[in-house]
Amino acid sequence: MTARLNSAQPYALGLFRIVVGLLFLCHGAAKLFGVLGGADGQGGTVSAGTWPFWYSAVIELVGGTLVLLGLGTRAAAFIASGSMAYAYFKVHQPEALWPMENSGEAAAMFCWAFLLLIFTGSGAFGLDQLFAKRSKREQRASHQTPVTA
């Protein structure tokens, strides 16, 4: 049983990455474009250049897209995790100590989810994996000596 679960680990991690990336990019799209209820739940958007909300929305949109695709996963997850740590400690935590009290649950969960992806990488289904396989094939092909008759 354990061997089967271990063999499925890259696929579970890939699906985890896809879901987390999709949810994160939805937050950014809502804030920037007013979709999915918008920044205020009524279709509103954040004003361009406002600190920290507009910048966090850009990080959410771009970082979420990169994580969803599995492209530069570790770097995108590093920036996204830091962004969510900042959001939690500077925006939510001053309101109250616990995430249940300060509406910081999403920021805390995203922070820890992205921290995990920094250390695990993209898992299966990511463009990182596709490019790594292609690069290995090209390296093997370039090291092979052609046979002449």
Comparing 136 with 42, the larger pLDDT belongs to 42
Q: What is the pLDDT of residue 145?
A: 58
> Considering the entire predicted model, what is its pTM?
0.86
pLDDT of residue 45: 92
Mean pLDDT of the chain: 92
Residues in the chain: 149
Of 36-40, 95-99, 114-118, the one with minimum mean pLDDT is 36-40
Taking the C-alpha atoms of residue 87 and residue 83, their distance in angstroms, rounded to an integer, is 6
Judge whether residue 106 has pLDDT over 70.
yes
The residue behind tokens 């959410």 is 60
Contact in structure between 71 and 128 (CB atoms under 8 Å)? yes
Q: How confident is the model at residue 31 (pLDDT cuts 50, 70, 90)?
A: very high
Give the separation between CA 89 and CA 16, rounded to whole angstroms: 25
